[in-house]
C-alpha cells in the first residue's frame, strides 16, 4: 500500500524542495510533478503544494534528489569577470570565483564585464529569479565616474527619463558626489542601462560600481571577496515584495 500524503503544513513544499535540489525554477519543477516523474517515499506526487517531511526520500525519474541548504552569498565582482558562461567568451566567469562545495549557484541580476561591485549568488534558483525580476523594483545603488563633469540639467534628465531602444530608462535619484562622480539609484533593470543613458546624453562612463542591493551594502568587501549572508540578512531578502 502506498504511503499516505503528508498533512498540509508539515515539511517543505514539494516545488520549493525540487528547486532547492537544483532542478530549476519552482514553475519548471511543477512540470516535473504534473508529468508524474516525482515520488515522495515511493508514492507518486500529486501537486506542487505537497509537503516533504524531514527524512523523506524524493526521487525524480527514479533517481534520488536532495534539497541543498539554502545559501545566499554577497560577492564583490571584479572588473573583467562575466556573469554568464559563453562558448565564445574566455574571460573569467563569476561562479569560478566560488568554492565548488557550494554546488550550482545562480546569480541575482547581472553586471556587465566592465562593471564591478555587489552581486548576489544563491543555490535557490527560484529566489534568484524572484529578486532579479523587474516587477519587484528592488533598489540598486551605483557609483559612476564620467569622462567629464555633468551639470544639474543632466542629472535631472536622468531622473525624468532617457529614451533607449528598450524603452524609457529612468533613474529614481541621482546625486553628484564629486566633480566627475555621481551616485545613481535605479529600480529598473535594462541591459547596460546606466552606460547607455549617459552615452545618449553625450557622456562616457569610465567606471561603474554597484554599492547596494535593497538594504544590503557592499561594505568593505574587496574585489573578488565574498561572504555568506546571515539567516537574518537572507530572510530580509526573501521578504522583499
Residues belonging to the active site: 112
Strand partners, 38: 60
Strand partners, 106: 122
Q: In the chain, which ranges are E strands?
A: 12-13, 38-40, 43-44, 51-52, 58-60, 63-65, 72-77, 106-108, 116-122, 140-146, 162-164, 167-169, 173-176, 181-186, 205-213, 216-217, 226-228
Strand partners, 184: 142, 174
**117 and 218 Cβ atoms separated by less than 8 Å:** yes
Q: How far apart are CA 108 and CA 197, in angstroms?
A: 22
What percent of the chain is helix, strand and coil (3-state, nearest 5)? 25, 30, 45
Q: How far apart are CA 129 and CA 106, in angstroms?
A: 9
Amino acid at each position: 500500500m502506498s504511503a499516505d500524503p503528508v498533512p498540509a503544513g508539515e515539511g517543505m513544499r514539494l516545488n520549493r524542495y525540487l528547486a532547492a535540489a537544483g532542478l530549476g525554477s519552482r514553475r519548471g519543477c511543477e512540470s516535473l510533478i504534473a508529468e508524474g516523474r516525482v515520488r515522495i517515499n515511493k508514492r507518486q506526487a500529486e501537486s506542487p503544494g505537497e509537503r516533504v517531511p524531514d527524512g523523506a526520500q524524493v526521487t525524480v525519474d527514479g533517481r534520488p534528489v536532495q534539497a541543498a541548504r539554502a545559501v545566499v552569498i554577497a560577492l564583490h565582482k571584479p572588473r573583467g569577470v562575466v556573469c554568464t558562461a559563453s562558448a565564445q567568451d574566455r574571460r573569467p566567469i563569476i561562479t569560478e570565483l566560488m568554492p565548488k562545495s557550494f554546488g550550482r549557484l545562480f546569480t541575482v541580476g547581472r553586471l556587465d564585464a566592465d562593471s564591478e561591485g555587489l552581486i548576489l549568488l544563491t543555490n535557490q534558483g527560484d529566489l534568484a529569479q524572484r529578486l532579479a525580476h523587474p516587477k519587484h523594483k528592488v533598489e540598486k545603488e551605483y557609483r559612476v565616474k564620467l569622462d567629464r563633469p555633468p551639470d544639474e540639467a543632466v542629472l535631472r534628465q536622468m531622473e525624468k527619463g532617457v529614451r533607449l531602444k528598450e524603452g524609457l530608462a529612468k533613474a529614481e535619484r541621482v546625486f553628484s558626489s564629486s566633480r566627475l562622480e555621481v551616485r545613481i539609484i535605479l529600480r529598473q533593470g535594462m541591459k547596460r542601462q546606466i552606460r547607455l543613458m549617459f552615452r545618449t546624453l553625450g557622456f562616457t562612463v569610465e567606471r561603474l560600481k554597484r554599492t547596494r542591493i535593497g538594504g544590503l551594502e557592499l561594505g568593505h568587501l574587496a574585489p573578488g571577496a565574498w561572504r555568506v549572508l546571515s539567516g537574518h540578512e537572507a530572510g530580509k531578502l526573501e521578504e522583499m515584495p
